Amino acid sequence: MLNVRFNRTPLAIAVVAAATGLPVFAATSVDTYTLREAVTVEGVRNHQAAFQAAADANGGTREASSPGYQASVDYVVEQMALAGYDVTIQPFDYPFFEENSPATLEQISPNPTVYEYFGLDGFATMTYSGSGNVTAEVEAVDLALPPGTEANTSTSGCEATDFAGFTPGNIALVQRGSCSFSLKAENAESAGASGVIIFNEGQPGRTDNFLGTLGGPGFTVPVVGAAFGVGVELSDGGVVVNLMVDASSEIRTTSNVIANSPEGRDDRVVVVGAHLDSVAEGPGIQDNGSGSAAILEVAIQMANQEISPRNQVRFAWWGAEEAGLLGAQYYVDQLSPRDIKDIALNLNFDMIGSPNFVRFVYDGDGSDTPLAGPNGSKNIESVFQEYFAAMSLAVEPTAFDGRSDYGPFIEVGIPAGGLFTGAEGIKTPDEAALYGGTAGEQYDPCYHLACDTFDNISLQALDEMSDAVAHSVMTFAMTTSSVNGTDKGKGLGKIESEMEYRGSHLVK
């Protein structure tokens, strides 16, 4: 194993922060050097190797209901119990979806055309689509063509009355916008549609094919999303298509792993989370074996150093994140109002070793992105900013866009923050100049693919980010201050009540 070290020095963050003009959080004078030295790339990589072995022995995946995931759970439970933590397995049911074979969408007449599955100008199956192989005429439903100038102006398919006069057995063609995909599909199915095609709305940024979710099982007809151009082609009337989806959509059981430090104030709990599951397509050793392995190593090294935190630290490995943040959502849903008040903050680490990385920090105060986290999230962001400034390492803001497990926490007003090194986004020339790597390529070229293996990693990013994980966990474990400046209730900040993303899937 490689033991790569970057920029580890003793740290007096409060002094550095004052010199750089960054805001100083009361707890940032905590000395985290010894813990950061103990959290090595070799240690993190050993855990990633265990996750890879779990996948290799079980069909190449660690999807939340798979034996590979259960093997990962067993490994984490064993490691944390040996380290002396109070470990709980939290089972829950969740909606499972997997395509058994690639879907097809083909125009039979009047202009025979085979549309590309997952192509930008093609179509993709909606998560939780029903199965079926149907050939029928396409019937447009309340379309807005040309589209309005603003997104979500189309109400196509949002009301049952939109389907008045719909011919049962036809394939419903509806337009993205205004309401959820599931409502559009439910209305179409109730009207007797044999299939549903939901095409993108058409404004700038809403023309390509997209990945959508119907929210859960229960649909009996095939439902797909499509590019705006596909919808326009099928909207003229008299168009016959063949639509085929072959998928499994059902309720399965998985679990979260929750491990509490045996010491620390239980009315100021620091929840440190990372999702443990992968997508069905691969082992997920970067997404999110990197975050899972990093928090596991931090927990073990805190125990090895016999650190007695002032505040209880609750390490959490979430299940079914890839199905829509479901493990974290289930955990938060079980909390009482008192439990919520007793959680000081949530630290989230999802993908911290991307091969073509950028160092992203969640924008807690919303100063650089559209949304802010709840009151206190600014202080969490500041701790990361101050740390990286002390290390002379550049960072970029990333938004609370609802794509990771912090989402359920900020929805109930719990301050949150964390780190991210990039997924399917494309690296810019400016980012390549600052961080290295290759402009014009994905931050993680193996995002949600079978090639997300042990070798899909930047050791530099993993080392730097693991140090930052250790620093932040130790900082908040030892703080004597309330993160949000008060022990009273927490404000919700500038967050939306309904996030457009749930994990990697669009919901509307």
Catalytic positions: 321
Q: What is the CA radius of gyration of the chain?
A: 24
Compute, in degrees rounded to 10, the torsion defined by CA atoms 122, 127, 128, 132: 20
Yes or no: say if 262 and 86 are a contact pair by the CB < 8 Å rule. yes
Cα–Cα distances (Å) from 210 to 175, 187, 305, in that order, read 13, 21, 48
- The identity of residue 487, as a single letter, is D
- The secondary structure of 207-234 as a DSSP string is -S---BB-SSS---S-EEEE-HHHHHHH
Distance between CA atoms of residues 420 and 132, nearest Å: 39
* Kind plus residue range of the DSSP H or E element containing 420: strand 416-420
Measured between its terminal Cα atoms, the distance across the chain in Å is: 44
Q: Is 72 helix (H, G, I), strand (E, B) or coil?
A: helix
Nearest to 171 by CA among 234, 253, 92, 249: 234
Nearest to 72 by CA among 94, 54, 45, 87: 54
Contacts of 338-342 with CB under 8 Å at 24 or more apart are 340/412, 340/413, 340/414, 341/267, 341/489, 341/490, 342/266, 342/267, 342/268, 342/269
Distance between CA atoms of residues 323 and 215, nearest Å: 9
Q: Where would I find the beta strands (DSSP E) of 424-497?
A: none
CB within 8 Å of 54: residues ≥ 6 apart: 62, 68, 69, 71, 72, 75, 283
Pairing of strands 240-260, 311-318: antiparallel
- The identity of residue 471, as a single letter, is H
